[in-house]
Amino acid sequence: MGSLPHVVEDCGGIVQLFSDGTIYRSKDIGFPMPIINDESVLFKDCLFDKTYNLHLRLYKPTSISLSSPTKKLSIILYLHGGGFCVGTREWPNCHNCCLKLASGLNALVVAPDYRLAPEHRLPAAMEDGLSALQWLQAQVLSDKGDAWVSGGKVDYDQVFVLGDSSGGNIAHHLAVQIGVGSTRLAPVRVRGYILLAPFFGGVARTKSEEGPGEQLLNLEILDRFWRLSMPAGASRDHPLANPFGPGSLNLELVALDPIMVMVGGCELLRDRGEDYARRLKEMGKKIEYVEFEGKQHGFFTNDPYSEASEEVIQVMKKFVIENSS
């Protein structure tokens, strides 16, 4: 008799990979945060990809802010984090964060799920990010499009892609793939990208990766996410993990829409975010780098109604206004 399958990779009990290749996903995750009820924002779920049965959640402020110059809602495509292996639009931290973005930025927030590893290794997540933008385009072009998107209250010429952690990595790849002016998505127009502590990797360690672990994150967890999400046999220098790896595209040759990178000063991923922003700036790209002193990974997503998060919203708002024309 063969030995029973045993766990070879364990993501905090949420996802477990067994020696025989089977995967267990827990439905019961004890979240420390309650779901916030923001009366000023409505939300609903829509199917956006029939092939993979993927849904997204739309968030719409009930009243349009009078301080908004356009009187129309801009659109924020919010790509959640989770190391490509965990997370969904329904998780309380993701949901609360999107409520805050909708009310704070006076925007229609579109929060898609994407296929997760190890069942679906990269680039599946990148493909699904693009698919969500194409769904948006289809709503705008159709006579029977979703009323929240095509009802005339939304400015689909003002789309910003906001990616958190692994979502920030997806946002980078979308920026490269879609290119300046996002012409293939017309009349939908992406104006800029906001990367919250983008989850990039590399074989060579950075100083912040080798520094002390965080409350919710350590190097072992980051490495596990890469092992589970990368194409089989690939290293952390694969182009999907490392934008500056040996086989990666030369970004100097790629025209990019404006990008803002935001990190916490105490993040393991801090140096990768800073290095990414510095290199793109040296290449002449329009890029901003903002660091929040003393903050750890997920500080905005996990507590979107904190004092620091109010500051994050103001920084985002400035970026949106500056890149809206």
Which positions are catalytic?
Answer: 165, 267, 297
Collapsed DSSP state (helix, strand, coil) of residue 108: strand
Nearest to 98 by CA among 78, 128, 68, 127: 78
Q: What would the DSSP string read from start to end of 28-60? A: ----SSPPP--TTEEEEEEEEETTTTEEEEEEE
3-class SS shares of the chain: helix, strand, coil, % to 5: 35, 20, 45
Helix (H) or strand (E) holding 281, with range, is: helix 270-282
317, amino acid identity: K
For 18, phi then psi, to 5°, come to -100, 160
200: β partners: none
